[in-house]
Amino acid sequence: GFTSTPRPLDGVPPFVWHGSIRSTEIAEQAAYYGDGFFHNNIFWPQEHTKRMVARYRERYAHYGHGAPEEAIVGLGGQVFMRRNAQDAVREFRPYFDNAPVYGHGASLEEYTAQTPLTVGSPQQVIERTLTFRRTAGDYQRQLFLLDHAGLPLKTVLEQLDLLGEEVVPVLREEFAALRPAGVPETAPPHPATTG
């Protein structure tokens, strides 16, 4: 006759992320609770991302959780890499052109210009990812979609190796160097609740 809810072993509830592609209600909910807001912007132009993150930051401050720049933000993005950018475009284009999500609409070039999709070398992925700060401000999490457009498992695993070996270490360093003073690197733990 009762519901048992497991409690965290350390007494600190886990940090909660509220994720959305288009719903401002989710941005509002994340701000209300002082939780993180993950804007999975993989299909939307940068202006939409800018509006969504700005709303969350503004409402986060409104609810008294801290300054807008202290709000905890995560972004999405998809990549396809090869050591040589031309090889990446040549290899990815047939997958892009025929993918149910991407294909038969905007060209690969149009899509990469309007969304975070980055097709190129690891260095180009690093450089492009660092530009997302112009749209979203400082943010704490970056999701990279690697398994998309019908890529074979072997290719996805190659992407994972490039990401882990060449992209992520540089981005961690760059993001830490660019982070404003007083802005947390990671999500702060919530105070334990009783009851």
Contact (Cβ atoms closer than 8 angstroms) between residue 80 and residue 92: yes
Residue 31 has pLDDT above 90, yes or no: yes
pLDDT the model gives residue 186: 64
pLDDT, one tens digit per residue, over 52-101 is 999 999 999 999 999 999 999 999 999 999 999 999 999 999 999 999 88
As a whole number, mean pLDDT of residues 41-50 equals 86
More confident residue, 148 or 194: 148
Burial of 25 (0-12, 13-18, 19+ CB in 10 A): exposed
pLDDT the model gives residue 194: 34
User: Which residues of 33-78 form beta strands (DSSP E)?
Assistant: 36-39, 73-75
Contact (Cβ atoms closer than 8 angstroms) between residue 145 and residue 103: no
Residues 6+ apart with CB under 8 A from 117: 42, 77, 78, 79, 111
Residue 193 has pLDDT above 50, yes or no: no
Contact (Cβ atoms closer than 8 angstroms) between residue 159 and residue 119: no
Burial of 29 (0-12, 13-18, 19+ CB in 10 A): middle
pLDDT the model gives residue 188: 55
As a whole number, mean pLDDT of residues 5-19 equals 82
Indicate the pLDDT class of residue 13, thresholds 50, 70 and 90. confident
Residue 105 has pLDDT above 90, yes or no: no
pLDDT, one tens digit per residue, over 134-190 is 989 999 999 999 999 999 999 999 999 999 999 999 999 999 998 887 776 665 554
Residues 6+ apart with CB under 8 A from 51: none
Residue 191 has pLDDT above 50, yes or no: no
Q: How many Å apart are CA 58 and CA 66, to the nearest integer?
A: 10
pLDDT the model gives residue 131: 94
Measured torsion, CA atoms of residues 73, 74, 77, 80, in degrees rounded to the nearest 10: 130
Q: How many Å apart are CA 10 and CA 25, to the nearest integer?
A: 31
More confident residue, 105 or 4: 105
pLDDT the model gives residue 39: 95
More confident residue, 94 or 192: 94
Strands laid side by side in the 36-39 sheet: 17-20, 36-39, 73-75, 141-142
